[in-house]
Amino acid sequence: MDTAKYQAKLEEEKARLTEELEMIADRQPGVPGDWQARPEEANTDTRDDVAEKFETLEQRRANEHTLESRLNEVTGALERIAAGTFGFCEVDHGPIEADRLEANPAARTCKAHLEDLNGNR
């Protein structure tokens, strides 16, 4: 399998995800791949300001979690390319269908085992 096109897609997605995370979160020192949502800089003079700041932080945390999870999936796929195991199902070790990899280059399983791994898309 020619992994170059998948590697390029994954590298591009990794850069985009990292950029998006850097807008709302900070990397956690000493914990590779872990991010912490950063509160928005705002004045908190009134109760409404405090409530809005809290709501914004909760939204940032949800976004940070989603972006971090996807970044970890993409990083894992790039590691599988480097290890020569990319494109093989982690359950039965058979090939992952080309259309599945086109839709999600970070896929860890074939279609038959789509639901077998937690966090698999």
Q: Which string of DSSP letters, residue by residue, matches 21-54?
A: HHHHEEEPTTSTT-EEE-PPP----SHHHHHHHH
Q: Count H helices and E strands in the chain, helices first.
A: 3, 2
DSSP-derived letter for residue 59 is H
Q: What is the pLDDT of residues 41-50, one digit of tens each?
A: 766 667 777 7
In this prediction the pTM is 0.82
**Phi and psi based region of residue 27 (left: phi greater than 0; alpha: psi -120 to 50; beta: remaining):** beta
Of the listed ranges 10-24, 31-45, 68-82, 92-106, the one predicted with least confidence: 31-45
> According to the model, what pLDDT value does residue 40 have?
73
Of the listed ranges 14-18, 33-37, 47-51, 110-114, the one predicted with least confidence: 47-51
Could you give the CA distance from residue 33 to residue 48 in angstroms, rounded to a whole number?
A: 34
27 pLDDT higher than 80 = yes
Question: What is the set of domains in the chain, with CATH numbers?
Answer: 4-26+45-113 (1.20.120.910)
Listed as own residue / partner, the contacts of 59-63 with beta carbons closer than 8 Å and 24 or more positions apart are 60/24, 60/25, 61/37, 63/24, 63/37
Could you give the CA distance from residue 33 to residue 44 in angstroms, rounded to a whole number?
A: 31
Task: Look at the block and give the residue holding tokens 């860890």.
Answer: 108
